[in-house]
Amino acid sequence: AQSVTQPDIHITVSEGASLELRCNYSYGATPYLFWYVQSPGQGLQLLLKYFSGDTLVQGIKGFEAEFKRSQSSFNLRKPSVHWSDAAEYFCAVVAGGTSYGKLTFGQGTILTVHP
Amino acid sequence: EPEVTQTPSHQVTQMGQEVILRCVPISNHLYFYWYRQILGQKVEFLVSFYNNEISEKSEIFDDQFSVERPDGSNFTLKIRSTKLEDSAMYFCASKRGSNTGELFFGEGSRLTVL
């Protein structure tokens, strides 16, 4: 069965520092991968997705992620973090199905940004 | 920007009571979903709905749960007889088509069962 692991439950960085959030997946076929962000009191917002093609994917808010099949990873990066990036981040993989809407999520990484 | 809206934002209920969580998906979307997140745990898929019927459901989605699209705009999740372990944040989501497009989530409804 498919699974997603986010090894870091909580990460703290200083504003302006670079960021990398880790995500490892387990899935037998070619994965469709996503990163979502949830700010307090908000829904889940899609940051970026990977389906095929270029393994370096650009998203919104200056985020990017790199798909590495050999490492079963899809890590999220940002070169310079802003205080408004403080939120919870979820990695997810499509768990099959016919409509690409059935996702398996990781447990999330809470990002705290210090001024 | 169109969005998925959910009501109520928070509901407190007694064990054994029926609860209905409501969602208004984005108007031209055709695929609808419910997910839930128990505090401290992962977001989990519950059910997907298309063309007025359930297309997939997880093992969590037992006979206590049902979904309905009673009119052209609302999409509801009913829990017939709530248990303590149903306490969670419930997310509604919708999608335009069956391709690899974006899944749009609502802000969630927090259910607390006492």
pLDDT digits over B53-111, tens only? 999 999 999 999 999 998 878 999 999 999 999 999 999 999 988 776 788 999 999 99
pLDDT over 90 percentage in chain A: 74
Give the pairing type, strands B31-37 and B43-50.
Answer: antiparallel
Is B49:A99 a contact under the CB 8 Å cutoff?
Answer: no
Give me the pLDDT at residue A43, please: 83
- Closest Cα in chain B to A3: B42
Is B78:B20 a contact under the CB 8 Å cutoff?
Answer: yes
Is B25:B77 a contact under the CB 8 Å cutoff?
Answer: no
Residues of B in contact with A43 (CB under 8 A): 3-4, 91, 105-108
Residues of A in contact with B8 (CB under 8 A): none
Nearest to B100 among A92, A100, A106 (CB): A100
Distance from A115 to chain B by nearest Cα, in Å?
27
pLDDT > 90? residue A77: yes
Residue with more model confidence, A36 or A52: A36
Q: Is B41 in Cβ contact with A100 (below 8 Å)?
A: no
Q: Is B45 in Cβ contact with A104 (below 8 Å)?
A: yes
Residues of A in contact with B41 (CB under 8 A): 107
- CA dist B65 and B2 (Å) reads 28
Measured over the CA atoms of residue B94, residue B89, residue A112 and residue A65, the dihedral's sign is negative
